[in-house]
Structure 1
Amino acid sequence: MMRQNQQQARTRIRQQKLKITFLGYVVVLIFFSILQFLGIGFFTQGFLLSRQVLPNIAECEEGSNGFGACMKPAKFDKAVFLIIDALRFDFVIPVNENENPNPYYHNNFPILYDLVQKHPDNGVLLKFMSDPPTTTLQRLKGLTTGTLPTFIDAGSNFNGDALEEDNWLLQLHRHNKSVAFMGDDTWKAMFSDFINPELNFPYDSLNVWDLHTVDNGVLDHLYPLLHKDNSSNWDVLIGHFLGVDHAGHRYGPNHHAMKDKLQQMNQVIADVINKIDDKTLLVVMGDHGMDSTGNHGGDSLDELESTLFMYSKNKKFHINKKSSDFYNTSDLGKHHRSVNQIDLVPTISLLLGLPIPHNNLGFPIDEVFGNDKDLSLASHKTVQQIQNYRNLYPELAKTELSEKFQYFITNYSQFSNNKKYFPEIIRQAKDYQSESLEHCKSLWARFDMVSIGIGITTLLLSLSFIITYSRSIPSVRVLTMSFEFIGSVIAMTLLGLVSSFSVFIVLKPIGFTIKTCLGIGTALGITIGFWAPIMDRFSVNWLGHQLFDFLIYNFNSWSFMGLIFVVLHCLVFASNSYVVWEDKMVLFFITTFGFCCLYGCLINTTKSKPEKVLGITHAITFIILSRLTSMINLCREEQRPYCTPTFTTSWWSIILLHMMAYILPVVIRSFYHLSNSYHSAAPLWIGTGLKFLMFMNAVYWTFEYVENSDYFLTLNLGLSFSVMKSLKLAIARIVLFVALVLANYSWSRGPMCVKLELAEGASPVASESSESSEEQEISDQSNQSKSQGTASILGYQNVYGSSYFLLVINFTSAIMLVTKPLGAISLNMLIIQILSLLELYDLLDIRKNLVAPIMFGLLGYQHFFSTGHQATIPSVQWEIGFMTTENITLPFTHLNIALNTFGSFIIVCLAIPLITLWKISPSNKPITALSQIITNITTLLSYQTFTSTSSFIFAAHFRRHLMVWKIFAPRFMLSGLLLILFNVTLVFVTLWFGTTRVLSQVNRIFGK
């Protein structure tokens, strides 16, 4: 009895010591995370600049010279604007049979082209070129203010605030015009102050799986307002349709839903034309296009080329043949002139008798002015407005363009009444506007190199932090050392924050803000606070030894290979071509490691023949799965024509999904059988829970496929799509709740994957402890078996790994739901790859090697690409956000998108402790296992920090590269998001929730 009490006391002491040590590790890693977040913030602030917005509002009479900024009288009394979101230009022009038209989006919207052909003086059809990023909020800013967006504004597409910058809706409001609106609620967020509140009908815009609600709502209000009895209630009517855009997001352009939507819009335009009068201007336009997958946000031609159609029953338009050098051709049947979207702003303003918005950079569209005299007058007013803007913008004033402006004004004053000089006046105005626009683009592409430098320096400091800490873990395992770090970091951080105010006073004259100084103070405080106790306790030679030990990590060929992979991955970002083909580079690294494992198993002389065969089998399995995974891909635009996209939803992918619901549990069970661990919790989690959740996932995507399939629609099976939609919502909510909440709670309280097998005649020893749980029973009986040899514990040799892996299964089940079928197949293969790697690490004895966590990181990248993602904005699968909700609901919509986008990395981060825990028996020194887990976690963080920092450095280096916004900027943004994800997931989920639970439970039961 006394011996048992002493043992329990020792176990409790170890538990307490384990908790305190764990707390020390977590706090230090939290400080490291803060340091990295500061580095990302500084770099982003310097790299993704925003444009300075001038608050000035244009007036009809501006300046002391009484310059008239408006054209009076207005050429139109009323205007109807119909925005068809994502109306790509080739959707509205005819395609001949010999040009292989696509039946889904070609020749289904002919009315615009036909009207221009039949009545060329009444309408104009133009290619409408948008500026990247091609997201709706940024396009609406350009279409209403005439200014250029900046790249960082893309992030605000889902958080649109009221637009305070001068725009033509504001001008309508100031001139007592009534604006009616219906459609995309982005307009409400931006322009609610300028829209007649009684005629404002916004609809939720981001549920891309809903093709009809917004369009039907627009039509419900549009037609009654166009009736002559209601026409006096409004001066400008705006309708924003979303069906075409949502059809593209949900199905892509190659789908019958796209055909139906285009035909519906064709009929809408015909109806509207019949209802408008002779004094009303009709404008039909798209805000952007879409790529071959139906997405947008980037700068490919398909995303940039949209449509502009302007029509009036009263003859107002013509093609200015005297200015034909500004046109590709007058044959609208073959070629179409391109205009910038910002050109709409001065055009609309002048036609409606409004002043051009103060910050406009566009130029009037030639065709909509009736003659050269009107166009030259419009050109003069636009040039005057642009120069007014430049005079008030500090960095634009007093340039060479000011002289060109004065030259133009002089010529206009002399020749404005001589029609012979009208074309020359127009040409000079166009030249001035073009040069001004290019000047503004170059100005707003300036980067804050100070912030960029601070960001990169901070990331490099964090890199020295994590490398040193990961290699000094055997030393900081001592409790006093861990808390020396914490106390020093807190003290120095507070000192840094206080010093920041003094630094701000000194640096304020050169542009430093208090926010910047506080960030610098915090970063320096954390860094100095970390290094102070190390420099105090250890010598420089020790530090050099630790760094050298980290780089070689038990130096052998495996360590060298891991180091080479890191270096090569960092060098990928030195070339735009390598960034584009990063997925193939990652495949090369993974397959190289697989073949090395195969070779290692073949020449291994320390293992028995069955073990060698098993190792060879695992290596071959790993290689084959890696190759199969690489066959699932979503091609970037730059990879064409050398890449064929395979990431599609088809009938065979649905069948595979159903098959994997049975195959994966069987495969996982076979791995558990290798260590005799398929007991207690394992059959429930793997044989029942995982199989059920995967089956429900397959049912969900089956419903999705049936709902969207042309074949099932033609069968007319009488399926109720409203019922199917309700079933899908119910399935998605049940699966996510069970996988993320119920299963994880049960796992944290449930049993382990072990079983006590009693020999015949053996009897359990009654426990006198207050504990009467299954854990206490196993503990008592295992102690008896050790002394009497009457029982054995099945699964004892893998008690850590088999139990922890169930947590990985929980999250994987949820991630598979929000991943499209082929992506879910890829994640199935990821799980098997991880298990094969764990077995190979054990057989080859490389679990403590540098290459082990690096390979997990590479697997995360491989399956990021194979789940239908690329380092591009259009590849984000926004539609997944609405699997569990019909509207945007925080946090569920955002959680779905995050799990879908970063699911493979989350699985890898969760699986990292298995490198240490897989196939090891319980130890009476759990802190040793914890320190090795921390080493692997910090090694993975080091690998990601190396690659992210390299991405940041090369993005800054190539900031003037032609492909900076298309390739380097999106890749650095992905790197920043991954750093944040890795820190949060590894610290709070992997370490805080998962690792300590397993170590504590095993130590409590099996502690000696």
Structure 2
Amino acid sequence: MHSRFKRAIIVLIDALKYDFMEYNETLGFDEIQNIHFKNKLIILHQLKTKKPLNSRLYKFIADPPTTTMQRLKGLTTGSLPTFVDAGANFKSYHITEDNILEQLVQQNKKIKFFGDDTWLGLFPDQFHQSFGFPSFNIQDLHSVDDGILANIYSEMKKSDWDVIIAHFLGVDHCGHRFGPNFPAMRDKLLQMNAMLSNITQLMQDDTILFVMGDHGMTNTGDHGGDSVAELEAGLFIYSPTQIASSQQKDDNTVKQVDFVPTISLLLGLPIPFSNLGMVITDLFTHCPWWNTATNDIRQAYHKIKALRMNAYQISSYLSAYQSQASDLPEKELRALQQLFTNTEQEIQKYITMMAKDGVKSDTLSKFQSLENSYRTFIRDTRQICENVWAKFDLKWMLIGILTLALGVAQSLYLWASWSNDETFLPTSAKFLLGGSLAYLICIAVHLFIFPTSVPLMPVTLAALLIVANFVCVKSFMPEMFVVKRYFTLVNVVSSILFILNCCIYFSNSFVVNEDEISMFLLQTLVCIFSASIILSKKSPGGKTEHTKYSKKSKSSFDIMQVVLHPKTVCFLVCLSLCALLRLSSSFIPCREEQVSCINSVFPQPLASLEGATKNKRYIFSIVSLAVMVYASRRWLKHFGNLNGTSPGVVAMLYGPPLAALFTCLHWALQGLSDLFSDSFTPWQLALMAQAVYVVLLVSIVTLTVWPLLIFMIPSKASSALYLSHKGDLQHIIPTIYNQLKVNFQQNHNEKDSERSPIIYGLGSAYSASICAYLVLFGLLLTLLLSDGTAPSITLGILALYLCLELYSAAIVSNSKHEEDMSSPRWAGLVLFNLLSTVFFYTTGHQATVPSIRFEAGYVGFYGDLKSFILPGFLVWLNTFAGPVFFSLAGPLLIFWPLLFNGLASWMVDKKSEQVKEKTSWQGDFSIFNNGIKLNKHLFSLVCGTIFITSLKLLFATCAAALHRRHLMVWKIFAPRLVYESALFVTVTACMFVVCLFVHRVDRALIRFVKYIHPDKES
């Protein structure tokens, strides 16, 4: 086709919504001042008004996923990306498909590029000259844009280019950081307006300008999904010469893939082979080389000419695709090919008739009919490709589901067998593990050697192994285990709630509202725990140890006796925990499908708030951080774990307060408006966060090397009790008296070397180290979550404490033997899983692509990072902050019931038995003497956790497979499956890490005991 223009300028403004480009003449001055993104690109309105035949403005509809790399691929190839392509957004692979840049190079055209260096990864050899800048630091609003503006004007004045591409990032980064309606967005759009004004003044008549956005953004500045706000970008086309024969009509919506055939034909290039877009026919109605005046017939003919070349390219692509694959519906494809053939025959006939008989009265209507036929062919072809683009291999889907089911069965078997047998690997376990290995070998053979064969053997083997697993599980469940240990109120109800939690994956409305459903299930389980304690036989009906101070008669009423009654305490703990969970829901963001949801002030960036609202939220965040540090120090001091000057103790004394202080200062810097923050250099803005990293890294390493938070005072004059915590004040005098009596009786028989030392914190050695580890990681998570959602971590710590107290009280009230108290219960595993799910949402996330907080990857960093490993790790920690925190807290299910101090002792009347002989209290140190039990419980904890998370993953996989042709599969079910898969990996990795840390604590305790008693073996 004849080249209409010799040069083209493509200005891509990342995340440029159509709303940003459309001018609203009805807005008053005050409204314009309050809506910071409206009526700022005035140059577009001026050009459209003064030169209506030289300009066009369209809604530019993107195809999901609305991530930058996928949009660039669509804008250059005209093809349709798939959902799984979203994962490649941070890894720009070289595009090997036919594209407009490759066509330009083949025609010896010179391309100059400015801006986002993602292009350099996609097209490494196509640019004649490039000025690339790092693109993923969304805290930086100006570096990329300023770098472009410093070079583009001088390069435009040169003659050594045919196409200029400029990709600006400031608007997108401003949206991520502040949201669209913020003063910084106004300033950025005004900068873009000035840039476009300068470019249009430098343009020559043979040049055409395309100003476009690759996607839109939500009200919070996010993108990646398929909401209307994310899909509606804008496209403005302008040339100093006339580009259309009439003014623009109201129908102003085009697809982004339509850009590819349009610019190709305007520049006289072949349309890329895999293009599925349709030419924008408005731009092919005016031909300046015609000697006669433009009329309707000429306009219709030229549009048909463009559509015909477009349709021929798509027909060739369909034929080539059909020869390689058979997934296109044959009936519809045959009908489309017949439509194309008939239309070609008709156009040939009409052209011959016009050459012979001239123009007739019905010529225009015939041309319009042909135009509609070509449009129908292109549109329907694209629709068919959209419907079948996602290929589902049912064979391998079945293999994947069976593999997951086998993993679930194996974890259930290992959990059940290790809960009842002292042997680490019984014969049946070796048999099943060997069968699983054989299954994996079969899968590998079929995957890499015989990929086209039907894997009947792996399917059969997997089914047999699953059945064998459940048979073995049954053999490890004797009658006592099934009836008396498992079928308790808490276990049965927790199982029902867990199954309900798994089943929600099969309903799109339930997945959309999973945050509220999980909250309801968790609060229900909390109430069931409380009910089991209250209904327990060990729950007293009269006065307890805490009310024996009362000397009043039976007829008098004592309000304190009612308030401090174990049942009342249990009820108040349950009520407080439910209130904490309800308060944490304030941090849950809304997802697009939750129509009635209103976003709170917490998910919004602090800098986007103004006045008193900003100050109140900042103060609230500081207070919550202070509560976290104070509560952890108070608990460690209560059990005597902050005495002495050992490296671990020093790290916990000074590390958390320093990290909290630097975090608050970092939040203050992030809360500055764009005007003030620009006065700081990038390294200054990142300094406080880097200080937090250094403090926490040093503290974590120190705690790993010296994990024991205990302090020993060698006794020279008297024997002493192992003082593991402060004890209750009302019992301190009897304790001292009893100890003095023992010392007096034994003093004449003991030598100084035989007298026991005083040891602080020994009774909580395991728990204190884990809690210290949790606090340090919690501070890291608060930094990454930003000030808005960071208080949810504090609420998570408080909720964790209350849940552990309820869990401990429930175990003590329902167990007959103290040695059973350290075994992790099924209900406890379900409780922690629900806590992980709830706090995934309360930390400001949803199971959607737009809810990923990519800005977390650059907290404490500036400039370009050579690797995405560290930013990816930080984004991962931010996304799964809740599951990471509660997974690391998992071993507390083993150690916390052994402490039995605090609220748990107030809820159960078992303290009176322990007070009789205070010296018998050993806390979680009691498990030290039985290393087999510790390993057994840790292994049971890991297997039980993996079983729960893998079963949820299995349900999510089955739901996605079942709904693979559902309308909402890519919007709801597929993202939920991806998140559940990532959650499984996260929880599993965290469980192994924390178990290794527990073993590190255990080894340190062994060395400590050997140091005290060198003549004894541990």
Instruction: Specify if TM > 0.5.
Output: yes
1:235 corresponds to: 162
Q: Deviations over 1:119-176 (max 9, x none)?
A: 1111111110010001111111111111111111111111111111111111110011
Contact residue 130 and residue 304 of structure 1 kept, 8 A? yes
SS for the counterpart of 1:180 is strand
Match of 1:413 in 2: 348
Deviation at residue 668 of structure 1 after TM alignment: 2.3
- SS of the aligned residue for 2:600 comes to coil
- Residue deviations 1:257-279, cap 9 Å, x none? 11111111111111111000111
Does residue 585 in structure 1 map to residue 517 in structure 2? Answer: yes
Aligned counterpart, 2:20: 91
Indicate the larger mover: 610-619 or 234-243. 610-619
Paired with 2:522 and 2:855, the residues of 1 have a C-alpha distance of 31
- Which structure has the bigger radius of gyration? 2
State whether structure 2 residue 441 is matched by structure 1 residue 497: yes
Q: More displaced, 165-174 or 839-848?
A: 839-848
The equivalent residue for 1:261 is 188
Alpha-carbon offset, residue 109 of structure 1 = 1.3
Q: Are 1:659 and 2:618 counterparts?
A: no
- Equivalent positions of 1:320-331 (< 5 A) are none
Q: Counterpart of 2:708 in structure 1: which amino acid? A: M
Is the Cα–Cα contact under 8 Å of residues 634 and 869 in structure 1 kept in the other structure?
yes
Contact 2:54 2:242 in 1 (8 A): yes
The answer as to whether partners of 1:142 and 1:148 remain within 8 angstroms in 2 is: yes
- SS at the partner of 1:869? coil
The 5 A counterparts of 1:802-951 are: 802-845=768-811, 848-886=824-862, 887-890=864-867, 891-918=869-896, 919=899, 920-923=924-927, 924-951=929-956
CA contact 2:627–2:794 (8 Å) conserved in 1: no
Secondary structure of 1:831's counterpart equals: helix
Map of 1:997 onto structure 2:
1000
Name the residue aligned to 2:267.
352
Task: State the 1:485 CA deviation.
Answer: 4.8
1:51 equivalent in structure 2: none
Counterpart AA for 2:173: H
Amino acid at match of 2:887: C
Structure 1 partner of 2:680: 722
Q: Tell me, in whole angstroms, the C-alpha distance in 2 between the residues paired with 1:567 and 1:960.
A: 25
CA shift for structure 1 position 379: 0.8
Indicate how the Cα distance of structure 1 residues 683 and 658 shifts in structure 2: closer, same or farther if over 3 A, else same: farther
How far 1:1000 moved relative to its partner?
Answer: 2.6
Q: Deviations over 1:939-969 (max 9, x none)?
A: 2222211222111111111112211111111
- Equivalent-residue separation in structure 2 for 1:653 and 1:243 (angstroms): 27
Whichever residue aligns with residue 881 of structure 1, its letter is: G
Equivalent pair of 1:493/1:524 in contact (CA under 8 Å): no
Cα 1:106/1:614, change in 2 over 3 Å = same
Specify the SS of the correspondent of 2:669.
helix
Q: CA, structure 1 residues 139+495, in 2 after alignment: closer, same or farther (shift >3 Å)? A: closer
Structure 1 vs Structure 2: percent identity of aligned residues?
30
Structure 2 partner of 1:12: none
What amino acid is the match of 1:317? A
Amino acid at match of 2:580: L
Matched, 1:748 2:677: no
**Alignment correspondent of 2:135:** 205
Distance 1:81 1:862 in 2: 45
Cα distance, 1:576 vs structure 2: 1.0
One-letter amino acid of the counterpart of residue 409, structure 1: E
1:374 paired residue among 291, 302, 305: 302
- Answer whether contact 1:885 1:892 (CA < 8 A) is retained: no
In the TM superposition, what whole-angstrom CA distance separates every residue of 1:557-595 from its partner, at most 9, and x where no partner exists?
110121022111112112111111111111112222333
* CA distance 1:492–1:108, shift in 2 (3 Å): closer
| 1:408–1:429 Cα contact (<8 Å) kept | yes
Give the letter aligned to residue 372 of structure 1: A
Q: Compared with structure 1, are the counterparts of its residues 541 and 190 closer, same or farther at alpha carbon in structure 2 (3 Å cutoff)?
A: closer
| 1:251 is the counterpart of 2:178 | yes
Q: Is the 8 A contact 2:264 2:270 kept in 1?
A: yes
Deviation by residue 1:384-409 (Cα, 9 ceiling, x = unmatched): 11111111112357622111111110
Structure 1 residues 430-579: aligned runs within 5 Å: 430-474=375-419, 477-479=422-424, 481=426, 485=429, 489=433, 493=437, 497=441, 501=445, 508-510=451-453, 542-543=475-476, 545=478, 554-579=486-511
Q: Distance in 1 between matches of 2:757 and 2:473?
A: 53
Inter-partner Cα distance in structure 2 for 1:289 and 1:552: 59
Q: 5+ unaligned residues in a row in structure 1: which ranges?
A: 1-70, 321-329, 766-780
Asked if the contact 1:244–1:262 (Cα under 8 Å) also holds between the matched residues in 2, the reply is yes
Amino acid at match of 2:982: L
Aligned mates of 1:203, 1:581 — CA distance in 2: 40
What's 1:401 paired with?
336
Separation of aligned partners in 1, 2:312 and 2:793: 59
Contact 2:643/2:649, CA 8 A, preserved across alignment: yes
Return closer, same or farther for 1:962/1:606 CA change in 2, 3 Å cut-off. same
Distance 2:951 2:19 in 1: 44
CA distance in 2, matches of 1:687, 1:214: 43
Q: Which residue of 2 aligns with 1:16?
A: none
Give the CA deviation at 1:788. 7.2
| In structure 2, C-alpha distance between the alignment counterparts of 1:491 and 1:126, rounded to whole Å | 61
Query: Which whole-Å CA distance do the structure 1 matches of 2:587 and 2:439 have between them?
Result: 52
Equivalent-residue separation in structure 2 for 1:974 and 1:479 (angstroms): 33
| Contact 1:764–1:784 (CA under 8 A) maintained in structure 2 | no
Aligned partner (choices 655, 669, 688) of residue 731 of structure 1 = 688
The structure-2 alpha-carbon separation of the partners of 1:279 and 1:696, relative to structure 1 and needing over 3 Å to count, comes to same
Q: How far did residue 110 of structure 1 move?
A: 2.4
Q: Secondary structure at the match of 2:957?
A: helix
Q: Is the 8 A contact 2:177 2:221 kept in 1?
A: yes
Q: Verify the 8 A CA contact 1:707 1:721 in the aligned structure 2.
A: no
In the other structure, the counterpart of 2:373 is: 428
Change (3 A) 1:405 1:853: same
User: Which deviates more, 959-968 or 79-88?
Assistant: 959-968
For the pair 1:699 / 2:628, whether they are aligned, the reply is no
Aligned partner letter, 1:108: K
- Alpha-carbon offset, residue 638 of structure 1: 0.9
What RMSD, in angstroms, separates the aligned Cα atoms of the two structures?
A: 3.2
Q: Is 1:308 the counterpart of 2:219 in the alignment?
A: no
Cα 1:1003–1:622, aligned 2, differ >3 Å: closer, same or farther? farther
Q: 3-state SS of the aligned residue for 2:11?
A: strand
Kindly indicate whether the alpha-carbon contact (under 8 Å) linking 1:139 and 1:287 is maintained by their aligned counterparts in 2.
yes
- In structure 2, the gaps of 5 or more residues are 287-298, 547-563, 607-613, 722-745, 813-820, 900-923, 1010-1016
Whether contact under 8 Å (1:465, 1:527) holds in the other structure is no
Q: Which residue of 2 aligns with 1:178?
A: 110
CA contact 1:668–1:832 (8 Å) conserved in 2: no
**AA paired with 1:732?**
A
Alpha-carbon deviation of 1:428? 0.7
Distance 1:478 1:728, change over 3 A: farther
SS at match of 1:240: strand
For 2:708 and 2:751, how far apart are their aligned partners in 1? 19
Deviations 1:43-83 (A, max 9, x none): xxxxxxxxxxxxxxxxxxxxxxxxxxxx02x1101111111
Q: After superposing the two structures, state which structure 1 stretch, 111-120 or 81-90, moved more.
A: 111-120
Q: 1:785 to 1:859 in 2, by over 3 A?
A: farther
Alpha-carbon distance between aligned partners in 1 of 2:502 and 2:750, rounded to the nearest angstrom: 55
Is the 2:414–2:429 Cα contact (8 Å) retained in structure 1? Answer: no
Instruction: Please give the per-residue CA displacement for 1:818-842, whole angstroms capped at 9, x wherever unaligned.
Output: 1111321100111121122222222
CA shift for structure 1 position 934: 2.2
